Amino acid sequence: MYSRELDGEPLTLAPSGWTYGDTFVLYDKESRSLWYPDGKGLLAIDGPHAGKRLPEIGHEDTSWYLWEKAHPKTRIAD
């Protein structure tokens, strides 16, 4: 997961339809810059924001089984 904020403004990220290797490239709807996840965050690889980075934000990768054991009162929305 990545921050959407750049220079104090939120970006609207969406799939670009492009891949690099096996990795999806995103774009932001505001500037149409292309963003590639490079292991340190999202790196703008083309467009007005080229060279800028959106940092990763903390998150937890888990399975439903482990999540439900740790959070038994979790409910799934219909």
pLDDT in tens, 25-61: 999 999 999 999 998 999 999 999 999 999 999 888 8
- Sign, CA torsion 43/44/50/52: negative
- Measuring CA to CA, which residue among 32, 40, 52, 50 is closest to residue 2? 40
At 41 the three-state DSSP class reads strand
Q: What is the pTM of this model?
A: 0.76
